[in-house]
């Protein structure tokens, strides 16, 4: 006996007519008659007397109607309970990402996890690099995608992606003729840099100092697009990541010769933080992915 058939039976009881019930349920009269016949066959009794007045319940029908109402109520209660259990089983995982990381990740990197684990809801928030680390350290977020270097006394980390740092120059700039660039060639240039919350800036300044000079900074910003635009207008030398710089019109992205002058994306969690099942599942997924050099 199907639940749908019981619902059809109750609708016929309410309407006292198969034709009216048929219109309300958007089903054919034949389908409703067959459903009633099936119930009657299962129970071994007649539920209705069919006459000119419509569908009249037999004593068996009256008894079954009382039970049918309770059956439907119980089934609706079970469905509601199951929905609450499903909601409790759903796990929320809060992900912090440094700006630029989403576009650097391979296509499907995050969506494939969602397809494999539909019970885990990912809440992704973008941060500047240092605030991203603070969000993980303060446990406002569970897992972070941040830029190296990472303080390994505070975080467990794993590098998942590496790209070369580069300068961004207008095609009218003489430096645009270079295939690669050495820091000593940049001593007298003025630079367009991300602000102090970005590790790209700190990594670049450190390399300049190792080359024997402090860089002259003409612009500090959190907006990469501003650096791109000013580079295009030849108002300074932008510093960025090679895979992004290659797509900027009228700007040439020239990678540094130094092999260790890189932009590395690391997955981080707070050291000694107990892992929730969702965190463990996500980290296992990351461990099974390839290491990318772009």
Give me the average pLDDT of each 10-residue run along the chain (294 residues).
Answer: 90 90 89 91 90 85 92 88 68 94 90 92 95 96 96 95 94 94 95 96 95 95 92 94 83 93 96 94 92 63
**What 3-state class would DSSP assign to 240?**
strand
Residue 129's pLDDT is what? 96
Q: Assign residue 282 a region (left: φ > 0; alpha: ψ between -120 and 50; beta: otherwise).
A: alpha
Cα–Cα distance between 269 and 167 in angstroms, integer? 31
Strands 262-270 and 91-98: unpaired
The topology (CATH level 3) of 162-262 is D-Maltodextrin-Binding Protein; domain 2 (3.40.190)
pTM above 0.75, yes or no: no
The secondary structure of residue 127, as a DSSP letter, is E
Output helix, strand, coil percentages for the chain, rounded to the nearest 5: 45, 25, 30
Question: For the chain, which residues make up each domain, given as ranges?
Answer: 3-88, 91-159+269-293, 162-262
pLDDT for res 54:
79
DSSP 8-state class, residue 211: T
Question: Do residues 43 and 60 make contact, with C-beta atoms less than 8 angstroms apart?
Answer: yes
How many Cα neighbours within 13 Å face the side chain of 150? 27
Whether the CB-CB separation of 161 and 264 falls below 8 Å is answered with yes
Q: Could you say which of 2.40.128.20, 1.10.10.10, 3.90.70.10, 1.10.3720.10 is the CATH number of the domain covering 3-88? A: 1.10.10.10
Cα–Cα separations (whole angstroms), residue 34 to 64, 212, 279 = 17, 91, 52
Query: So what's the pLDDT on residue 135?
Result: 97
Pick the CATH number of 91-159+269-293 from 3.40.190.10, 3.30.70.330, 3.40.50.970, 3.40.50.2300: 3.40.190.10
Which two structure tokens, joined as six digits, stand for 215?
A: 């860089």
Establish whether domains 3-88 and 91-159+269-293 are of one fold.
no
Q: What ranges make up the beta strands (E) of the chain?
A: 48-51, 54-57, 91-98, 120-127, 143-147, 155-170, 190-194, 216-221, 237-241, 251-255, 262-270, 292-293
């Amino acid at each position: 006996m199907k639940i749908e058939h019981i619902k059809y039976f109750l609708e016929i009881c309410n309407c006292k007519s198969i034709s009216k019930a048929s219109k309300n349920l958007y089903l054919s009269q034949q389908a409703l008659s067959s459903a009633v016949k099936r119930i009657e066959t299962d129970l071994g009794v007649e539920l209705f007397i069919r006459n000119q007045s419509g569908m009249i319940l037999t004593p068996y029908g009256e008894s079954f109607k009382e039970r049918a109402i309770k059956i439907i109520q119980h089934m609706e209660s079970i469905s509601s309970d199951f929905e609450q259990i499903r909601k409790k089983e759903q796990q929320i995982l809060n992900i912090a990402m440094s700006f630029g990381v989403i576009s650097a990740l391979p296509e499907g990197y995050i969506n494939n996890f969602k397809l494999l684990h539909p019970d885990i809801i990912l809440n992704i928030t973008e941060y500047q690099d240092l605030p991203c680390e603070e969000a993980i350290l303060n446990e406002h977020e569970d897992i972070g995608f941040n830029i190296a270097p990472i303080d390994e006394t505070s975080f467990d980390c794993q590098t998942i992606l590496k790209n070369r740092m580069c300068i961004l120059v207008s095609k009218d700039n003489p430096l645009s003729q270079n295939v690669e660039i050495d820091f000593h060639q940049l001593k007298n240039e003025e630079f367009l840099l991300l602000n102090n919350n970005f590790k790209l800036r700190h990594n670049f300044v450190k390399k300049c100092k190792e080359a024997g000079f402090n860089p002259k900074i003409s612009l500090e910003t959190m907006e990469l697009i501003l650096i791109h635009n000013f580079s295009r207008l030849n108002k300074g030398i932008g510093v960025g990541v090679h895979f992004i710089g290659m797509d900027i019109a009228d700007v040439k992205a020239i990678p540094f010769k130094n092999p260790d002058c890189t932009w590395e994306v690391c997955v981080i969690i707070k050291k000694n933080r107990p892992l929730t099942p969702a965190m463990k599942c996500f980290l296992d997924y990351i461990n099974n992915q390839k290491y990318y050099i772009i």
